[in-house]
Copies of this chain bind each other. A is one copy, B any other.
Amino acid sequence: MSEKLEERLLDAALERLKTHPADGLSLRDIAREAGVSHQAPYVHFSGRRGFLAAVAGRGLARAAVEAAAAVEAAGDVPTDRLRALAHAYVGFVQTEPHLHDLAYGPLVDKADHPTLQAAAIDYWDLLHDCVGACQPHGTSEPETLRRCVTAWGTVYGIARLTAHHQVPSSVAAGLDAILDGALDSLTSGWLVTDGASPDPLGVTRS
């Protein structure tokens, strides 16, 4: 009873998400677990979607903080920082796949709750910073954005496919190697500025 009810409900939902997918999550169940009536959540949230969005926002915000810490701990080399972000992201998807699905899936819209929107922006900014720092001088902003999406998509896809057991387990076991290989491939491709054709000899120019 120490915390406020609003936070207790969110934390109970996050706890359940660790083991159960989001679509089966019941407002009444959460309320029961918190020892309040089935209508209590409606005082703090605008229906089920609003509640789920708030849950996703809280969870994603925490994940973003963890990821930022991992990036900081990785030192100053841009590719090391990007790699740390990628591994943090994969760890997030692996340990909390249902939360990740909720935050970036169709059950909820970023417009449903401001904290979700804010957390998504924080995470995106982190990605943008890490990818941007890996770009050679003179890379245009649109190209950087495209590379952000490519990098995110790559890590996202690999992480989600393995988290939901869609790839042979023998392959999933080597997830880290796959991820590192994909990142190497991405970053080495970035050494070429946009529009230009591949020019391996240009890699050393700052």
Residues of A bordering B, CB below 8 Å:
21, 23, 97-98, 101, 104-107, 120, 142, 145-146, 148-150, 152-162, 164, 166-168, 170-172, 174, 177-178, 181-182, 184-186, 188-189, 198, 200
Contacts and interface: CB of A to CB of B under 8 A. Distances in A.
A152 B198 CA distance: 23
A21 B105 CA distance: 10
How many of these chains are in the complex?
Answer: 2
A153 B161 contact: yes
Q: Interface of chain A, helix or strand or loop or mixed? A: helix
Contacts of A148: 171
Residue with the greatest number of chain B CB neighbours at <10 A, chosen from A107, A120, A177, A185: A185
A2 to B, nearest CB: 34
Given A98-B106, A149-B172, A200-B200, 10 more contacts: A21-B106, A104-B166, A120-B166, A142-B170, A145-B168, A152-B157, A152-B161, A153-B154, A156-B157, A184-B198
